[in-house]
């Protein structure tokens, strides 16, 4: 299959206009290696590709979340659906940045995540976050929960990578804020659809 990293980097960095893809198999990765933005070849199990692969995983889960939310045809939720698609676009840029492309993560995008999260919290009931909730509720909210957990995994992968190479502080900030937003969003979806949350209840018994 065409290598995700190579395709994303070349697409964003060179701004190719692709009208037809002749073959999805490039065969350039048959030896277990792939390329960074500068052409450097690394093993596909290198940590940088683990990060980019996790970005791809997150984007895929967001794609399913968007598909589920669009089925609801809720005006209250539609704005968030549009924003999730914006996030999907930005994740491609993030992947290219991690791969070494000379791109900047938009401060405007980071500010938008924070503002959207704050606005959602303001719109919900005052006690919406007074207890730990179990993942779930409506199917769409449950899918956003999965995306949130993958986003947290991505953050851990990026921290690991930052110990080996310089990673922009803004990248870490963006992913951290994004996971916060996704948690708020899953709560917002359940409230908007009148889905009752199930709260964590601590067992009285302590097992050793």
Q: What is the CATH number of the domain that holds 87?
A: 1.20.1200.10
Instruction: Decide if 81 is inside a domain.
Output: yes
Give the dihedral of Cα atoms 160, 32, 54, 195; nearest 10 deg. -140
What b/e readout covers 52-87, taking b as 16+ CB neighbours within 10 angstroms? Answer: bbbbbbbbebbeebbebbbebebeebeebbebbeeb
Q: Report the alpha-carbon distance of residue 182 to residue 87 in Å, rounded.
A: 11
- Classify residue 34: in a domain, yes or no: no
Q: How many domains does the chain have?
A: 1
Q: Is residue 19 part of a domain?
A: no
The gap from C-alpha 44 to its chain's centroid, in whole angstroms, comes to: 21
Task: Classify burial at 149, counting beta carbons within 10 Å of its beta carbon; exposed 0-12, middle 13-18, buried 19 or more.
Answer: middle
CA torsion through residues 109, 113, 116, 118, sign: negative
Structure tokens at 19: 């009208």
* Residue range of the domain that includes 115: 44-125+132-192
Per-residue pLDDT of the chain (208 residues; tens, 9 = 90+): 445 554 554 544 444 334 455 555 555 555 565 555 556 665 566 778 899 999 999 999 999 999 999 999 888 899 999 999 999 999 999 988 888 878 888 899 999 999 999 999 999 888 777 778 899 999 999 999 999 999 999 999 999 999 998 898 999 999 999 999 999 999 999 999 999 888 888 776 645 5
Tell me if 7 is assigned to some domain: no
116, part of any domain: yes
Q: Is there a domain that residue 152 lies in?
A: yes
Residue recorded with tokens 């939720």: 77
In a domain, 109, yes or no: yes
- Contact present, 62 and 19 (Cβ < 8 Å): no
Residue closest to 51 by CA, chosen among 204, 167, 179, 182: 167
User: pTM score, two decimals?
Assistant: 0.81
Q: Which of 157, 175, 28 is nearest to 94 (CA)?
A: 175
Distance CA 69, CA 76 (A): 11
């Amino acid at each position: 299959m065409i290598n995700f990293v190579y395709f994303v980097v070349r697409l964003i960095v060179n701004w190719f206009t692709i009208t037809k893809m002749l073959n999805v198999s490039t065969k350039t990765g048959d030896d277990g290696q792939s390329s960074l933005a500068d052409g450097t070849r690394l093993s596909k199990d290198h940590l940088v590709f683990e990060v980019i692969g996790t970005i791809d995983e997150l984007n895929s889960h967001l794609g399913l979340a968007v598909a589920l939310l669009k089925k609801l045809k809720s005006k209250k939720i539609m704005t968030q659906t549009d924003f999730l698609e914006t996030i999907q676009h930005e994740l491609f840029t993030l992947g290219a940045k991690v791969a070494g492309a000379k791109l900047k993560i938009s401060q405007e995008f980071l500010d938008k995540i924070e503002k959207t999260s704050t606005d959602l919290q303001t719109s919900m009931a005052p006690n919406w976050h007074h207890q730990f909730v179990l993942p779930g509720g409506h199917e769409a909210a449950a899918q956003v929960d999965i995306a949130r957990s993958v986003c947290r995994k991505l953050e851990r992968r990026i921290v690991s990578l930052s110990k080996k190479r310089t990673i922009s502080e803004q990248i870490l900030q963006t992913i951290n804020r994004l996971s916060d937003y996704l948690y708020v969003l899953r709560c917002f979806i359940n409230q908007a659809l009148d889905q009752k949350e199930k709260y964590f209840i601590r067992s009285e018994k302590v097992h050793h």
